[in-house]
Structure 1
Amino acid sequence: MELHVSLVGRRDLVGQIYGQLRAAILDGRLRAGEALPPTRELARRLAISRNTVGVAYDRLAAEGFLTSRVGAGTFVRETGSAARGAPASSPLRPRKVWDDVSAWPGRMPKIRWDFRAGLPDVTLFPYEPWRRIVAGLLRPSGLAEPASAGDPAGLPALREAIARHVGVSRSVRASGHDIVVTAGIQQALDLIVRVLLEPGDVVAVEDPGYPPVRMLLTAAGMRVRGVPVDAEGLRVDALPGDARAVYVTPSHQFPLGMPMSLPRRRALLDWARRRDVVIVEDDYDTEYRYGGRPVEPLQSLDEDGRVLYTGTFSKIMRPVLRLGFLVAPPSLHRAFRMARYVTSWHAELPAQAALARFIDEGLLARHIRRSRREYRARHERVAELVEGPLGDRLALVPSEAGLHLSATLTGGTDDAAVAAKALGAGIGLFALSEFAVSGPSAPGLVFGYGAVTPPEIDAGMRRLRTVLG
């Protein structure tokens, strides 16, 4: 580790060095076995005599804190002390809103059958091509345009690649100038809140919907209003009249799974135009569509430039690759750049450059084609089992896309109790009630199939049959 010693004035230099090193050892900041700088080097850095440093080291060694080995150096001895944290008491207190914000989802230990929604199969990812690209970029000549690191919107090569990708795969109208690279959907939404909304503004969200979005909006001081969904998606007639923004997942409603119908999408656009409302379109997994006609995004139907389109690569690649994007009209380009600059100047540049090459070499499209075939088979198998052996307890919600399926429980069963009992049997899944916004929703279960292999799907569903009784 880099040793930091600071001197105050010129009095008792030995005592200052001794005291700071002793405190660092007792705190655990300097761990047993770590080497201290040679006395000559530390003396040079502190602009003092080597003898002064040597006396401080000798004192620490005499008290059992250090040990020296000829030809090897000076090392910290084992003291048995634990690292010291921040002061235990402080007058500082968080805003009250943070009392009610908690991480989602909760931990699910000892899962054997992982049916949690939103998790891709990381074994399908083409690691060798990705490793080759990353290794090439980490050479001194790999990132040849250092000036591009200063663009808060992201590497130009990646923004252009994303624009081409979403234009072909999602029919999104965008150039590289319209793209802002983000760390995912939540950072995109955070930027939107900073640029367009004021504390106290009303934001409408789907009910049921994605919990982290509600948490972010609430923490930012927004007033969140849940709007019910039906078989055609968000109910436009139920939108609050004082809403300043609407957050929707029209291509694949989360968590129920239906797409928003074309008449409903047009009605939403018309409603937003008449009331001067911004629409945030979250298109989180549209690459995985297994049937039916392709769903045209709101962004491509929008003639007024009031739809802000967001997407992520975590579902089609790996969740740990925290890269997503926001598509914005020219009137907002500068503001979003500045919002990105003041909050997080840019994401990890090697990852951005690697993803740009991954897209340009056709590797992302190839990976999507391969994984789509695999996920289609799992989608069909889960649907078959829900409608077959579990059909007396569950009613499948029709869906032709994504990495999960939802089903309602018959007879008013407590879905949270069922999910808890399933977890006790080694099955990890979500209850529909976890996604409710304004009040109780129809009880049901959400079945993710990205992280569970086909053989385990059958075994897990058989176990769930016994849980349901």
Structure 2
Amino acid sequence: MGIPVENFFLKPDTKGTLQARIQQMVAEGILSGRFRRGEKLPSSRKLAKHLGVSRITVTLAYTELLSNDYLSSKGRSGYFVSDDAPTPPTFDATPERADSVDWTRALGRRFTGYATLVKPQNWQDYRYPFLYGQTDPQLFDHAHWRLCALQALGAKDFAALTQDYSDQDDPQLVEFILRHTLPRRGITARPDEVLITLGAQNALWLTKQALLNESRLAVIEDPCYPALREILMRARCFVHATPVDKDGLPPDQIPEGADVIFVTPSHQCPTSYTMPLARRQALLARARDLDALIVEDDYEFEIAHIKPPMPALKSLDADGRVIYVGSFSKSLFPGLRLGYIVGSAPFIREVRALRASILRHPPGHAQRTTAYFLSLGHYDSLVKRIGKALNDRRVIMEHAIRKYGLTIAGKGTHGGSSFWMRAPDHVDCEELTVRLREEASVLIEPGTAFFAGPNPPRNFYRIAYSSIAQARIDPGIAEIARAIDATSVT
């Protein structure tokens, strides 16, 4: 591979002849590791023109570097970094620079310090990965996704791949969502009532920006999706965390003055409780009495492998006060980062303008590839295959949980991909998570981050069965049980 000529520049503070300065520039590039063995240098003519020097000066510098084994010459092919060139140091050769900026004063706002869920990037290297939300490579339809991606690269879809949609979305993807995805949830909508987002989290952020300010009150579930709580805290609005029960968010516990209610009725995050129909209707009535809006995060409705999902809140909404958030992250793969918002046209118009000012639109190729994967039937086949596999794993995991005496605090009645667990009161699941990861190659998620308040309970944890092979579920649960039993009472 050739080294771009733009990578070469003469530092104004270096001393010596032009030839010596060029030699030093190339040698430093090799010694720092920026120029690697076998890479081709620019021709003497091209480098001379770029640096504004004579060609003979560059040629003489190259010749000297050749004699010192920094470079090698291959006939008429040019000059290359020699295989015998000095080996770059293994440490970071970038010189340290003094940072004189006082960042505690310079930063107008801070976005760190909130509770987050940390997932190892190399989670697949662990023997028992009970991690939520990761894709099982054994289940994903690589072949058809690749074909759809190639189809989206074709000449017929050149505009979808390359054009600037401005504030619009891929019409094929929007049409599929309107005609196929939403009707499965009992929802009807028009194209101007749908916006494509970079996943559900981006949808929640856009919604927060449009609906909340420092004088408004947002209601969230407790426990809830940690990223949602962070988003709302950064909005500096008032936030009220309402404890959930086995039926989800209790409508009669929503305080007066609530402006926006965030809820996960299909699979409450993280308990997986499913809100029954009567409570859904009661929640809509409570929102109507308060003149509040509801944001329904329906992040996992496709994973209803036990029995069909309940009707979406949006499908029961006669007032237009429910904003529906969907995502392809759980049913396809989280790295896709595609989701959607469904709401009344005036609301969608505002969040569309906001999205355009930040990122214009999600990448066209990703949208068109997804549209093909959905419309050609591959998506439905994938969901069925995943559903069957998850149901089989769920049965095995539930049996193992009973077998080893662990306690389930919450599980989905319609499906899902995880169990919400409760350890004995004396167990700190943050410490348990570290011990299991380091000593038994087991990955679980501590539950602390899901709770609001300064002193959240520390004995909850979540274990998922979406990414772990069936044969490893039982021995993995056994490791968790052993680690809990080994935790002494203080």
Task: Answer yes or no: same fold by TM over 0.5.
Answer: yes
Cα deviation, residue 374, structure 1:
1.3
Q: 1:291 aligns with which of 306, 322, 325?
A: 306
One-letter amino acid of the counterpart of residue 459, structure 1: P
The answer (yes or no) to whether the contact 2:409–2:422 under 8 Å persists in 1 is: yes
Determine the structure 1 residue equivalent to 2:41: 36
Are 2:398 and 1:390 equivalent residues in the alignment? no
Determine the structure 2 residue equivalent to 1:169: 184
In structure 2, relative to structure 1, the CA distance for the partners of 1:308 and 1:19 (3 Å cut) is farther
Q: 1:370 aligns with which of 372, 385, 389?
A: 385
Are 2:464 and 1:448 equivalent residues in the alignment? yes
Determine the structure 1 residue equivalent to 2:488: none
Determine the structure 2 residue equivalent to 1:329: 344
Are 2:417 and 1:403 equivalent residues in the alignment? yes
In structure 2, relative to structure 1, the CA distance for the partners of 1:57 and 1:213 (3 Å cut) is farther
In structure 2, relative to structure 1, the CA distance for the partners of 1:204 and 1:142 (3 Å cut) is same
Are 2:485 and 1:460 equivalent residues in the alignment? no
SS of the aligned residue for 1:143 comes to helix
Determine the structure 2 residue equivalent to 1:211: 226
Q: 1:80 aligns with which of 73, 79, 88?
A: 88
The answer (yes or no) to whether the contact 1:185–1:311 under 8 Å persists in 2 is: yes
Number of equivalent positions: 465
Following the alignment from structure 1 to structure 2, what is the Cα–Cα distance between the partners of residues 412 and 8? Answer: 62
In structure 2, relative to structure 1, the CA distance for the partners of 1:47 and 1:106 (3 Å cut) is same
1:125-161 deviation line (CA, Å, top 9, x unaligned): 1111111121233244443546754243421111111
Following the alignment from structure 2 to structure 1, what is the Cα–Cα distance between the partners of residues 28 and 189? Answer: 56
SS of the aligned residue for 1:295 comes to coil
Following the alignment from structure 2 to structure 1, what is the Cα–Cα distance between the partners of residues 68 and 289? Answer: 78
One-letter amino acid of the counterpart of residue 145, structure 2: W
SS of the aligned residue for 1:380 comes to helix
TM-score by length of 1: 0.86
Determine the structure 2 residue equivalent to 1:422: 436
SS of the aligned residue for 1:230 comes to coil
In structure 2, relative to structure 1, the CA distance for the partners of 1:409 and 1:44 (3 Å cut) is same
The answer (yes or no) to whether the contact 2:160–2:365 under 8 Å persists in 1 is: no
In structure 2, relative to structure 1, the CA distance for the partners of 1:383 and 1:91 (3 Å cut) is same
Cα deviation, residue 104, structure 1:
2.1
The answer (yes or no) to whether the contact 2:220–2:261 under 8 Å persists in 1 is: yes
RMSD over aligned CA atoms reads 3.3
Percent sequence identity is: 30
SS of the aligned residue for 1:123 comes to coil
SS of the aligned residue for 1:129 comes to helix
Following the alignment from structure 2 to structure 1, what is the Cα–Cα distance between the partners of residues 221 and 193? Answer: 26
One-letter amino acid of the counterpart of residue 405, structure 1: F
Residue correspondence of structure 1 range 98-137 to structure 2 within 5 A: 98-101=111-114, 103-107=116-120, 111-137=126-152
Determine the structure 1 residue equivalent to 2:4: 2
Determine the structure 2 residue equivalent to 1:300: 315
Residue correspondence of structure 1 range 30-69 to structure 2 within 5 A: 30-43=35-48, 50-51=55-56, 53-54=58-59, 57=62, 66-69=71-74
Cα deviation, residue 168, structure 1:
3.4
Are 2:268 and 1:263 equivalent residues in the alignment? no
The answer (yes or no) to whether the contact 1:205–1:246 under 8 Å persists in 2 is: yes
Following the alignment from structure 1 to structure 2, what is the Cα–Cα distance between the partners of residues 17 and 242? Answer: 70
1:432-467 deviation line (CA, Å, top 9, x unaligned): 333211243483332200011222112222333333
251-260 or 317-326, which deviates more: 317-326
SS of the aligned residue for 1:325 comes to strand
One-letter amino acid of the counterpart of residue 2, structure 1: P
SS of the aligned residue for 1:233 comes to coil
**Unaligned segments of structure 2, at least 5 residues:** 486-490
Determine the structure 2 residue equivalent to 1:311: 326
SS of the aligned residue for 1:378 comes to helix
Following the alignment from structure 2 to structure 1, what is the Cα–Cα distance between the partners of residues 483 and 284? Answer: 44
Cα deviation, residue 229, structure 1:
0.4
Following the alignment from structure 2 to structure 1, what is the Cα–Cα distance between the partners of residues 11 and 230? Answer: 46
96-105 or 297-306, which deviates more: 96-105
Following the alignment from structure 2 to structure 1, what is the Cα–Cα distance between the partners of residues 115 and 70? Answer: 42
Residue correspondence of structure 1 range 177-256 to structure 2 within 5 A: 177-199=192-214, 201-256=216-271
In structure 2, relative to structure 1, the CA distance for the partners of 1:236 and 1:24 (3 Å cut) is farther
In structure 2, relative to structure 1, the CA distance for the partners of 1:332 and 1:71 (3 Å cut) is same
Cα deviation, residue 403, structure 1:
0.7
SS of the aligned residue for 2:260 comes to strand
Cα deviation, residue 428, structure 1:
1.5
SS of the aligned residue for 1:204 comes to strand
Following the alignment from structure 2 to structure 1, what is the Cα–Cα distance between the partners of residues 264 and 29? Answer: 51
Cα deviation, residue 262, structure 1:
2.6
